[in-house]
């Protein structure tokens, strides 16, 4: 069946459900899991949607985000270990979340991507976008979406 499964997480309750399902699938198929959290870079200018901040402050904030992301993927590793699943925790830094997910899946030779969809509709989807939809439409690797 599957030998490597990438599970993308953002730490939300819905994403945690996807993690649970992905780990269960990995346990059933004997697959190794790549647990991925993508961390954006901190906006450094008004035009990027943020208040201009000192470069050192931005680096400190990005380091905090990366540290929190590492804790998140380490938690997935521990959960996987409890189920007998080998999990490699990965934190990627990118503003392009969907592209980072697809790139990580290719890099680690994954055969399946597991992620959640928040199911936004209408104007919220238009304004917030859908990383899951982007992965679905651009990935050549199968994608399992959980809601």
Q: How far is CA 39 from CA 3, 94, 95, 115, in A?
A: 26, 6, 7, 16
Question: Three-class SS of residue 83?
Answer: coil
Q: For helices 55-82 and 13-29, what crossing angle results, to 10°?
A: 40
Which residues on neighbouring strands pair with residue 35, listed in sequence order? 7, 89
How confident is the model over 100-120, as pLDDT tens digits?
A: 999 999 999 999 999 998 755
98 and 44 Cβ atoms separated by less than 8 Å: no
In a domain, 52, yes or no: no
In a domain, 57, yes or no: no
How confident is the model over 116-145, as pLDDT tens digits?
A: 987 555 555 544 458 888 999 999 999 999
The pTM of this model reads 0.87
Across the beta sheet with 87-93, what order do the strands follow?
Answer: 87-93, 32-39, 4-8, 112-116, 143-146
Using a pLDDT cut of 70, give the percent of the chain over it.
Answer: 84
Neighbours of 55 (CB within 10 A): 9
DSSP assigned state of 109: T
Residue with tokens 């399946």: 112
pLDDT on residue 118: 73
| CATH number reported for the structural domain that contains residue 74 in this entry | 3.40.50.620
In a domain, 59, yes or no: no
Q: Which domain holds residue 117?
A: 4-37+69-146
End-to-end CA distance of the chain: 23
Indicate whether 48 pLDDT > 70: no
Residues with Cβ within 8 Å of 64's Cβ and at least 6 positions away in sequence, in order, are: none
pLDDT on residue 17: 94
Q: How many domains does the chain have?
A: 1
């Amino acid at each position: 069946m599957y030998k490597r499964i990438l599970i993308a997480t953002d730490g939300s309750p819905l994403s945690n459900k996807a993690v649970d399902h992905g780990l269960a699938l990995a346990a059933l198929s004997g697959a190794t899991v790549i647990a991925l959290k993508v961390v954006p870079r901190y906006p450094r200018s008004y035009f990027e949607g943020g208040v201009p901040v000192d470069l050192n402050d931005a680096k400190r904030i990005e380091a905090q985000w990366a540290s929190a992301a590492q804790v998140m993927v380490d938690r997935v590793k521990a959960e996987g270990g409890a189920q007998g699943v080998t999990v490699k925790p990965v934190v990627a830094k990118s503003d392009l979340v969907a592209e980072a997910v697809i790139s990580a899946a290719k890099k680690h030779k994954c055969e399946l991507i597991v992620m959640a969809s928040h199911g936004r509709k209408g104007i919220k989807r238009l304004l917030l976008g859908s990383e899951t939809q982007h992965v679905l439409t651009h990935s050549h690797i199968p994608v399992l979406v959980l809601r």
